Copies of this chain bind each other. A is one copy, B any other.
Amino acid sequence: MAEYPPFAVTVDLVVLTVRQDALCILLIRRGIPPYHGRWALPGGFVGFDEDLADAAARELTEETGVPEAVGHLEQLGTYGTPGRDPRGRVVTVAYLALLPDLPPPVAGTDAAAADWLPVSRIAEAQLAFDHDVILAAGLERARAKLEYTPLATAFCPPEFTIARLRTVYETVWSSQLDPRNFHRKVTGTPGFVEPAGRVTEGDRGRPAQLYRRGSADLLHPPMLRPSLTRS
């Protein structure tokens, strides 16, 4: 292998959550060059004896403190254009994480600060490296996956109401959904959710049934984005 050019391999994370009716992403403010002071995706180098998915899970836990079983983590794509990192030839494997709303993150060792930012305000943020491209891919992946998988439940706590699930869809898709049709569709899609047997308390209005994530990993029929329905 000595005759082949050495690459550095990193993982970067697009960590999304829904908080206060806004789709938010976990970013760190870089404390070291390059891009010192800029917002960037959390991430880091892959250990020589470490699997890629393990490295992503490790970084996610380091940055957020969430146990690995919570939420959802999947590979998003790999970015390796020469020159994307001024330090050398760095190929990064991007992962997408979907998490329920969490307490504020702890700053990692190489981060001056870490915080949730609404994705609607990312345009002003001037992300480091090619992280704007990676983020865009993560957002589109998340929006698409809500259509045909039950991954919206990854944004929710273990038990949640249909209305909570609906706000997840509305937030990620930036569109309003009819509460009545949504309710019928979710409960009518086999394996999407299953009743927890309990109800909410203390809110305004009629108490809502609580549900847990179901066993399906593919939705039939899928939930369709209103914006794409018109052809």
Residues of A within 8 A of B (CB): 1, 4-9, 45-52, 75, 77-82, 87-91, 93, 189-190, 218, 220-221, 228-231
Contacts and interface: CB of A to CB of B under 8 A. Distances in A.
Copy number of this protein in the oligomer?
A: 2
B9 A7 contact: yes
Given A48-B82, A49-B82, A52-B81, 14 more contacts: A1-B8, A1-B88, A4-B8, A5-B45, A6-B6, A6-B8, A7-B91, A9-B80, A52-B91, A80-B93, A91-B93, A190-B231, A220-B228, A220-B231
15 contacts: A1-B8, A1-B90, A4-B8, A5-B8, A5-B45, A5-B47, A5-B48, A6-B6, A7-B9, A9-B9, A9-B91, A52-B80, A75-B77, A218-B228, A220-B231
B1 A87 contact: yes
Contacts of A230: 220
Nearest to A9: B7
A102 B90 CA distance: 36
Contacts of A78: 52, 75, 78, 93
Contacts of A77: 75
- The 6 A-B residue pairs with the shortest CB-CB distance, nearest first, are A6-B6, A220-B231, A5-B48, A1-B88, A78-B78, A52-B80
A50 B82 contact: yes
B229 A46 contact: no
Contacts of A89: 48
Nearest to A6: B6
Contacts of A79: 52
A45 B8 CA distance: 14
A80 B75 CA distance: 12
Nearest to A220: B231
A225 to B, nearest CB: 10
A10 to B, nearest CB: 9
A145 to B, nearest CB: 12
Nearest to A81: B51
A138 to B, nearest CB: 14
Contacts of A190: 231
Q: Which of A4, A87, A221, A228 has the most CB of B within 10 A?
A: A4
Contacts of A88: 1
